[in-house]
């Protein structure tokens, strides 16, 4: 598999508006570099091609791992995890103060699978809200 060039990394960062495609954490509030992630994990045949790459924070990327779908308790269906490259964030998620809420089956399974409201980020987002740094503009 071809290596991801620095030029491609820059292109992805720009396309992703320099923020995590899942929890929308902007690079400016993140002490770690946002990571180039594989939408379809390499373990499942995902490639280093541009169409399979996006930007994610360390937590979302870590929790995502090799997951590609989840079970939605409301529709009782297995559905694919949100694809930040081809799907629109605001169609599938909304903010409820510091929490991300799934508006669709896809949104709900993504919130669950990627632990978008994990115990590390919730108190941090809460503080950011009090100083007007969060949620980020769309």
Contacts with Zn ion by CB under 5 A lie at 20, 22-23, 25, 57, 60
Nearer to Zn ion, 66 or 77 (CB): 66
Least distance (Å) between residue 77 CB and Zn ion: 24
25 or 109: whose CB is closer to Zn ion? 25
Q: Using H for helix, E for strand and C for coil, what is the string for the chain?
A: CCCCCHHHHHHHHHHCCCECCCCCCEHHHCCCCCEEEECCCHHHCCCCCHHHEEEECHHHHHHHCCCCEEEECCCCEEEECCCCCCCCHHHHEEEECCEEEECCHHHHHHHHHCCCCCCCHHHHHHHHHHCCCCCCCC
For residues 100 and 105, which CB has a smaller minimum distance to Zn ion in the complex?
100
Q: How far is the CB of 76 from Zn ion (least distance, A)?
A: 27
């Amino acid at each position: 598999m071809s290596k991801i060039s620095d030029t491609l990394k820059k292109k992805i960062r720009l396309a992703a508006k320099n923020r995590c495609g899942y929890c929308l954490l902007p690079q400016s509030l993140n002490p770690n570099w946002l990571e180039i992630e594989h939408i379809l994990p390499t373990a499942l045949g995902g490639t280093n091609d541009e169409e399979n790459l996006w930007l994610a924070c360390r937590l979302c990327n870590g929790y995502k791992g090799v997951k590609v779908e989840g079970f939605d308790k409301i529709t009782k269906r297995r559905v694919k995890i949100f694809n930040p490259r081809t799907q629109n964030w605001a169609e599938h998620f909304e903010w409820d103060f510091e929490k991300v809420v799934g508006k669709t089956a896809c949104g709900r399974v993504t919130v669950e699978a990627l632990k978008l409201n994990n115990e590390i980020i919730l108190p941090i987002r809460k503080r950011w809200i009090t100083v007007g740094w969060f949620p980020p503009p769309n």
